[in-house]
Amino acid sequence: MKTISQIVRYILLSQLIVNNPLPILGQSRGIDWIHGLGGNHESLESVDNFFFSERQITSSNRESFTTNIGIHEMAVEVDNKTQGGGTRLGIGHSLGGAAVRQVSLWNSAYWHGVITMGSPLRGAQISTSASDGTNTAFVGSGRDKMMAGPNVGSAVSPPIWPGLGLEFSFIQPLATLYSNSIAEWANNRLMSKFGLSGQTAEDLKPGSNYQNTRAGQTSYVPKILIWGSENYPILWKVLGTYVIGDSETNGVNLASDIADLYNLMVNGEEFQSWVNFPFHGFHQWRKGKWEEGRNWMNTDSNTGWQQVIGATWVETINGTYWENTCSEEYYYTYCDTQPDPAQCRSYCILTYPTVYYITMTNPAMGLL
């Protein structure tokens, strides 16, 4: 899963930001940072520091917000705790972007401009999946496939009684991870980490009362919406980030170790099926059981996760591209001295219509 720092480094320093017409991104400006699900005032600290050093921001604000009370109530907190103002920018990540959008719907002049990063502005299918059984069924299916091999044993390990989990010492976490309670445990653990609980979970469901009420509403504040595309293996990066040591690498490495172990069992059964030819069919049967787990780790888990988060569509969005035709010295230094800096900068900007294709088979943020 991409870190927020990676997203900001890639996009906020791109031409889209550098050449945009928001004077808020010039010198001597301020930013209100709004964290996402389950976050706090430290969540965007590294991004804040990086952005501060690059853009000479003189005033930044990071607060902790309650993320399970619903988008509307979180936005009330944002409104109460942030400074806002005509020289400030509101930047929200994940759910924070939805709260930023809500505040700007109440008052288009609250910030001079807003940026949302990987935000579920039209709802999040994962919230529905967490409550209608889709996610639990996905995890339960993974448990069954992962236990298929251990439950029948192999040429290099004894059978394990159903439900006891794997006992291989170098991947001991699996002893718990693949117990009979995995579906409930993983669902609750993951949803809790995301902050997908309470009114927020309801508000994020596509077609919810909140989403239907927001449909068709707009704010005239200048805005930039940022999506991120994730690379395979999405699920294991997500688990690594949220459950296994706050590192997507940990999740990927664990998944790779497990897949390698299962493949070892597959190869062992293939070998034994020819060495002990009278038992060829038996070893091929056990080989197939271990293949179920290996294939789930390598491919089926990510396919299932795409279904959980609803990453099955391509969306076309009509937008506008800005090009700054003036030098940075004129755009910032000279225009800052004019009675109407915004009007001064407007002469520098050319706008072009453009079309953005948002492909959700490479899901934004791997989550929402």
Angstrom CA distances, 346 to 224, 322, 335, stand at 17, 11, 10
Residue 109 has pLDDT above 70, yes or no: yes
Position 181 scores a pLDDT of: 46
Residue 256 has pLDDT above 70, yes or no: yes
User: Out of 31-35, 269-273, 331-335, which region has the weakest mean confidence (pLDDT)?
Assistant: 331-335
Q: Give the model confidence (pLDDT) of 50-64 as tens digits.
A: 877 776 677 889 999
Position 92 scores a pLDDT of: 95
Q: What is the mean pLDDT of residues 31-41?
A: 92
Q: Which residues contact 172 (CB under 8 A, 6 or more apart)?
A: none
Q: Is 185 strand, coil or helix?
A: helix
Residue 35 has pLDDT above 90, yes or no: yes
Place of tokens 């389950």: 38
Position 194 scores a pLDDT of: 59
b/e string for 102-130 if b means 16 or more Cβ within 10 A?
bbbeeeeebbbbbbbbbbbeebbbbbbbb
Residues carrying CATH 3.40.50, the chain: 4-123+208-232+325-347
Place of tokens 């924070």: 96
pLDDT confidence tier of residue 203, bands split at 50, 70 and 90: very high
Residue 64 phi, psi dihedral angles, 5° rounding? -100, 135
Place of tokens 């707009």: 218
Strand partners, 319: 354
CA atoms of 57 and 17, how far apart (whole Å): 14
Amino acid at 366: G
The whole model's pTM is what?
Answer: 0.69
Place of tokens 């900068």: 345
Position 1 scores a pLDDT of: 45
Given the DSSP bridges, would you call strands 349-359 and 314-324 parallel, antiparallel or unpaired? antiparallel
CA atoms of 256 and 54, how far apart (whole Å): 37
The angle at the Cα of 12, spanning 8 to 18, to the nearest 5 degrees, equals 165
Torsion of CA 32, 34, 40, 44, to 10 degrees: -70
Share of the chain above pLDDT 90, in %: 26
Q: What is the mean pLDDT of the chain?
A: 77
Angstrom CA distances, 80 to 4, 96, 102, stand at 25, 14, 13
Q: Give the model confidence (pLDDT) of 296-341 as tens digits.
A: 989 898 888 888 887 765 556 676 777 888 888 888 788 888 888 8
Segments in 243-340 forming alpha helices (H): 248-275, 280-295, 301-309, 328, 335-336
Q: So what's the architecture of 4-123+208-232+325-347 in CATH?
A: 3-Layer(aba) Sandwich (3.40)
Q: Is 333 strand, coil or helix?
A: helix
Pairwise pLDDT comparison (97 vs 353), residue with the higher score: 97
pLDDT confidence tier of residue 280, bands split at 50, 70 and 90: very high
Pairwise pLDDT comparison (158 vs 128), residue with the higher score: 128
Strand partners, 223: 114
- Kindly state the helix (H) or strand (E) to which residue 106 belongs, with its residue range: helix 95-106
Position 231 scores a pLDDT of: 65
Chain centre distance of CA 352: 30
Q: Which residues contact 10 (CB under 8 A, 6 or more apart)?
A: none
pLDDT confidence tier of residue 9, bands split at 50, 70 and 90: very low
Pairwise pLDDT comparison (316 vs 15), residue with the higher score: 316
Position 361 scores a pLDDT of: 44
Q: Give the model confidence (pLDDT) of 140-167 as tens digits.
A: 788 788 888 888 877 665 444 333 333 3
Residue 187 has pLDDT above 70, yes or no: no
Pairwise pLDDT comparison (164 vs 197), residue with the higher score: 197
